[in-house]
Structure 1
Amino acid sequence: MSRSGAHVGGTGRTGGIAQRVSNAQSGDPRHLWDLYLELTPQNCTTEVAMIVLSHLNPDLVPSVSTREHERLPHKTYVDRALPCVTTVAMIGAACHTRPSFGVGTIPHLVKSVDGICLWMGFLLYFGLSYPNPPLPGEDFRNAYYTHCQLLFDMVETDTRLSNAILSSQTFIDLLLRCWMVEGKGGEVFMKIDLDSDSACPIVNLMLLTTENDVGVDLLIHQILSRPRGFAVDFARALISRARQLVQYKAPPTKSIGYIQGILRITEKLLSLAPALRRSFLKVNYLTELAQVLNSVSADASQTAHPMKFMKHTVSSVMRLTLLIMEETPRAIHNWRDMIRGNYYAILVRALAHVAPEDYSTDNLYTQLLNVFGIHTIYPCLIKPLSTARIPEASRNRLAQDPRFKKKWDILQSGLQERLHVHSIMPQGFSICDNLSCPRNQSGRQMKQCSRCLTVIYCSEQCQRADWKGRHQAECELASVDHAHRRAGDVVYSHAARTFHTFFVEWMYNSHWPYLRQSAKQMYPSLGLNQWFVIIRTHEMQYHTGLEPLALLPRSSPHYVAAHGNEEVWWERRKSDVFDQAYLKPRIKEVLGEYKNGKLKARLGVKGSGEVAVAEGVFQMGNNYSVYLTVPLKRASSKAKWEAAYSIARYACHPNSTRSM
């Protein structure tokens, strides 16, 4: 097979288009080239299409592994392939510009989709495309761009042709090959033409496929049915393309569009195939995409007209955020990964450049600040936020913008508070899941139950005591529950529980005078052990409230009959669903002993000391929260409250909807 294409136009090109058509019927490669060179969208005929497509029969594609293509008659079939595939582009253009021509021609193209794709795959093996013959040492990327552009144009030509291509398994195989192929330097192919407005045909073709219902289903099936590791390599190829935007310093005019396309591909695949998420996580996709978007948005902010680009940057930030919100079980770790990619800087920079005409009071922009802010209560987010690099100019601009100032001030205040609490948490602060733990050891080495991993103890004595008292009855169920949640990434870590226990302690001490006064006014008939404090963190501003544990007089404006029922602690007025029934005895033990006065002795509080109970609610994405019940104690009425114990349980919000 000729790799140089020197045979193009080899007959001298005498006569008109009719003669070219007549000559091409013989199948001589030289005449096929002559026909192509004479064709225009205006003079192309259905007869031409029939001749060309007859030579793209899928049954004629030879085996390269057996060198079948070097022997007759296969060599003749091979020599016809390049001029015929190249002519298909002209036929498609004619269908696009002349709808009447397409009426009779498109059905023939539809029938030939598999043959066209198979022959393209054969030509790509040798790096062949017209008019770009491969140069010595070249890695064939131009051939991939050319053939993908041809397919893209065909998909855009007509709905019937689009449906035929995107529903073809042969096409999906070819698309995956183009997506995964690497050049001599180990780099995937992505066309970034700085001198034109053209986009990468490989990325465009992948985007078109993922946005087609049939195409995306076939694509996902192929990715998941390939050998183990293929899905990870697919995700790696996507991330590699995103990185190239930074590597080759693509200007914002190009990079914004590219990153939007890559994010759309990612969002579509992961929303339809959650099984792909683990493969994407293995290439750290959230951190990588955030880093690229941070670089792209930084470049855009330095242009003469930053608002022009920032409108699209904000939409990219929203799309990136939706990647998190779509997978609510892993929401906290997803936010951690994004913050490591400097998501905070992207958000600040983008919102600081929102044009006045793009803003409305009920828009999504302020929701971005809120959704981000409410999840920063977790220690794995607080640590990277403490070192986040925020563009000073954008920070100042946002702080002075009346559209965002209120939300921005709340976010800043909340972040500073979280960072402060995290910084003052004593070294070695810990919790022990034995309610009767004497808690008289400093620097205790905590160990978790090796079977269920859900409880931790400061000593073997505490573990034995709790095993007899509670954990023996719950360990098996807790083990099954934890394994299920771990498989779905819905895991509330001991590190998070430890910090949140201290956070509840800090909040209780900070608001105690106000809480005590409020209780006296609202529930004058109740003692300290007949109400508890609930701290909600579902918004950037915390909300503290009081909940009675005993019936109020019917004359009270706060009277609720259910307050006389101990189940109210568990059911939460049915607003949330708690399915860890094995934890009920622990909860009822704390509740019962708190109400009957025995909790004081259980926690080792003597004399004028006091005990109280608070509960923190911490959101884990859209669909889950953690309720953390924390008994507190203090040695006297002038001493500070100290967290003595905590129980965490998961709550599912059955009627939750996406925040964005």
Structure 2
Amino acid sequence: MPDMCPALYLLSAVFQDCCGDGLAFVEEVMSHDLGKRFAKTTSLRAVQVAQAAMDTHYPEGIYGYAAKLLKFVQDVYLYKDHRLRQFFDDGDFMISFTRMFHRLSSHFLSQEALSDKLVEPIINLYIHAMYSRSPEAIPHRIVIRNFRGLLTGGYLEMHARCLSKARGNVLESFCSWTMSPHILDVLTSWESNGMVDLLTRLFDFPDSRDYWRTFWSAVQNRLRVYKPVRMDEGWSNTCDNLSQCTRNAEGRDSSKTKQCSRCSSMTYCSPHCQRGDWFERHRNECPSARGEHFELSEAESLYSHRSRAFHTRYLEWLFEQRAVDIYAACAEGKNVPTETKIPVFDCTGLGDKFEPFNPDDLLAQLSQTSNDASDNIRSFRKSRYKQLVRTTRSLPTEGEHLVEGVFQHDSKSTIHLLVLLKRIEGGYKARYSAFYIL
């Protein structure tokens, strides 16, 4: 087979030689503005490799070339200087790169060597290298974008064909991201494009059938909540006012939604709620909120208001579906009133695990001192979290319940979202919410 990209071999060798003693390779690439063109060329080569794999009679040669390409990109992701890696954090590149291995796995389905030479390195790149082995946390926005690229490129189908013994683990590695509105958009397109039937067939093996049913059942629950709110223009009106909103919950106008222009961290259902929260609380915490907002913006790991609004609606749905079980679990074997317990849902997996929690324990957790330099910056969220917990001591009306949800934020942190639910005809409705990143 002819050598399709000798320059890539050369660049890979130079890169590996420079990794140990400095930034020469990255400086050279960046100084000539070659980074973007280099990533684009690598992406095109991935497509060419996939096409050649369909024609060649020497699959071992393709395996060798693909392994070198994979090793090079993995080196880029593990390298300490992120300036080069930024050009590979691109949805189009991830789609092309994944499609190359997807087509290889489809074409050489009977080749035993495929698992050893290609599939295992791919797992190391996409799961370990990108999410845990990186010297710094991968920004949440980039993880989501790459994840969408993997789905579009056929990542799940590839694993379903090649890793018969690990299909369940592959699905488990994706479950936490199914709580992201961005991923739910992709999963919605799966349904409309007939991808579900294809994936069901691919996972229809004794060792993975139950995993797939559990996975897709959980996805359907989340889509059931997400689809209607996505079509509602006012669905994201989750208000950050902890007092005005308790008296002003009804009659919100989505056209009057306001965001704090100073810190961009607080969103309100109306100008009235914004003014009330400013004089009562936010003017004291706004400077630290602004500091955190720009810190997270620079790291590209903000917990979007859109995500929080969906998580709030999901907690409403979970609580409504399991209200009877929750009351029984809180009261069983306890000599305490049911309303003094907080239902906590762990939504980082597929089972939406539930357990009742004591509000005093939550306050004790938040009162612990921390050596984290960002703890002072996040104190504005912590104070709001404490206030919501204290609300359980004197709920303004009957039929209100404080519910906590735990959601995956990135590889190193989770979101703890508190929502005060009010009983209404036909279900429950969130009165207000606040969150804290742990």
The interval holding the TM-score normalised by the smaller chain is: 0.7 to 0.9
1:210-249 mapped onto 2 (5 Å cutoff): 210-212=15-17, 213-214=19-20, 217-224=23-30, 226=31, 229-246=33-50
Secondary structure of the residue aligned to 2:435 is strand
- Structure with bigger gyration radius: 1
Amino acid at match of 1:496: S
The one-letter code sitting in structure 1 at the alignment partner of 2:348 is H
| SS across alignment from 2:303 | coil
**Among residues 180, 196, 212, which one is paired with 1:408 in the alignment?**
212
Q: Any idea what the Cα deviations from partners look like across 1:405-442, whole Å, max 9, x if unmatched?
A: 33322212221111111123371222111122202224
The residue identity in structure 1 corresponding to 2:44 is S
> Which range is displaced more, 262-271 or 287-296?
287-296
Where does the alignment leave 5 or more consecutive residues of structure 1 unmatched? Answer: 1-192, 551-562, 652-660
Contact 1:431 1:645 in 2 (8 A): yes
CA distance in 2, matches of 1:277, 1:628: 36
1:312-351 equivalence runs, <5 A: 312-318=117-123, 319-325=125-131, 326=134, 328-331=137-140, 333-343=142-152, 345-351=154-160
Report the number of matched residues: 417
TM-score, normalised to structure 2, is 0.84
Where structure 2 has 5 or more consecutive residues not aligned to the other structure, the ranges are none
Following TM superposition, by how much is the alpha carbon of 1:344 offset from its aligned partner in structure 2, in angstroms?
A: 7.3
Matching residue within 159, 162, 186 for 1:384: 186
Match of 2:342 in 1: 532
Residue 373 of structure 1 pairs with residue 175 of structure 2: yes
Q: Residue 566 of structure 1: which of 335, 357, 363 is its match?
A: 363
Aligned-pair Cα RMSD in Å: 3.1
Q: Distance in 2 between matches of 1:522 and 1:223?
A: 66
> Residue in 2 aligned with 1:432?
239
Provide the rounded CA distance (Å) in 2 between the counterparts of 1:572 and 1:547. Answer: 21
User: Identical aligned pairs, as a percentage?
Assistant: 20
Q: What pairs with 1:124-523 in structure 2 (closer than 5 Å)? A: 193=1, 200-212=5-17, 213-214=19-20, 217-224=23-30, 226=31, 229-246=33-50, 251=55, 253=59, 254-276=61-83, 279-280=86-87, 285-303=90-108, 305=110, 307-309=112-114, 311-318=116-123, 319-325=125-131, 326=134, 328-331=137-140, 333-343=142-152, 345-354=154-163, 359=165, 366-388=168-190, 390=195, 395-402=200-207, 404-425=208-229, 427=232, 428-429=234-235, 430-435=237-242, 436-437=244-245, 438-445=248-255, 446-523=257-334
Distance in 1 separating the partners of 2:178 and 2:153: 11
Match of 1:646 among 414, 433, 436: 433
Aligned partners of 1:310 and 1:350 also within 8 Å: no
- Which amino acid is 1:330 matched to? P
TM-score (norm 1): 0.57
1:628 to 401, 404, 417: 417
Q: 1:623 to 1:304 in 2, by over 3 A?
A: closer
Query: 1:348, 1:395 within 8 Å by CA — same for their partners in 2?
Result: no
Higher relative contact order (CA closer than 8 Å, sequence separation 6+):
2
Is 1:593 matched with 2:374?
Answer: no
For residue 351 of structure 2, give the secondary structure of its aligned residue in structure 1: coil
| Partner SS for 1:280 | coil
Q: 3-state DSSP class of the match of 1:630?
A: strand
Question: Counterparts of 1:546 and 1:526 in 2: how far apart (Å)?
Answer: 12
Q: Distance in 2 between matches of 1:399 and 1:532?
A: 39
Contact residue 43 and residue 96 of structure 2 kept, 8 A: no
Runs ≥4 in structure 1, deviation > 6 angstroms? none
Mapped contact 1:243–1:292 kept (Cα < 8 A): yes
Q: CA deviation at 1:588?
A: 2.1
The Cα shift of 1:298 comes to 3.1
- How has the CA–CA distance of structure 1 residues 218 and 588 changed in structure 2, closer, same or farther, with 3 Å as cutoff? same
Cα distance in 1 for residues equivalent to 2:239 and 2:111:
53
Work out whether residues 366 and 382 of structure 2, in 8 Å CA contact, stay in contact via their aligned partners in 1.
Answer: no
Change over 3 Å in CA distance of 1:414–1:394 after alignment to 2: closer
1:545 offset after TM fit, Å?
1.2
